[in-house]
Structure 1
Amino acid sequence: MSRPAAQKALDATERALSGVDEELERHATGQGSVSSAGQLTWIRSQLTRIADQLASPELPPKEQRACGVGRVITDSWPCDSRLSAAILEAEQLYLKA
């Protein structure tokens, strides 16, 4: 694992988490535009797990890394969502780190 690659992935994951938090706030006021609060909460927990792994000294082997968020997004979210792009980028960078 390359620390610069892990840091890049961590930065992207933190941006994605921020976007998820903003969308959860919009859902709380009845103005959410993507997904549901429940699904966003699950995605947030997965991204938090990814961030924790990226911040640790050792990442798990690639075949044991958390994934699946991207599948949920590509199956049901709008293609033009900036939040979906941020989450997909974070997951891809994590899987490559």
Structure 2
Amino acid sequence: MSEKTTQKALSLTRKALSGIDEELQLHTEGRGRVSSAQQLSSIRGQLEQVAVQLSSSALPPTPQRLRGIGRVITDSWPYDNPLGSLILEAERLYLKA
């Protein structure tokens, strides 16, 4: 896929990481809005790996890329959650890159 798609996927992944950090801070303060701190930390770890792959010149072939974040979000997060939507879009572009 194009370099533009890869860069957009990386940008969205970084925004998603920032959003997860904000949500984790809310959980620390007892004001978490979605998910659990443990699940958010797990998703964050996967997104960090995605960011590393997108930043490298050796992006794995599509069948070997990380998957599953979207399933967790669609199965357990509210449909109208902006962070969930951002993460889903980042994963979609990562798999397309």
TM above 0.5, one fold? yes
Q: Read off the aligned partner of 1:32 and give its amino acid letter.
A: G
Q: Read off the aligned partner of 1:89 and give its amino acid letter.
A: E
Query: Residue in 2 aligned with 1:59?
Result: 59
Query: Residue in 2 aligned with 1:46?
Result: 46
Aligned ranges 1:1-97 → 2 under 5 Å:
1-97=1-97
Q: Deviations over 1:22-50 (max 9, x none)?
A: 00000000000100000000000000000
Q: Aligned partners of 1:49, 1:2: CA distance in 2, in Å?
A: 20
Aligned pair count? Answer: 97
Gaps of 5+ in 1: none
- Kindly report structure 1 stretches of 4+ aligned residues shifted beyond 2 Å: none
Gaps of 5+ in 2: none
Give 1:5 shift: 1.2
Cα RMSD of the aligned pairs, angstroms, is: 0.6
Identity %: 61
Give 1:2 shift: 2.1
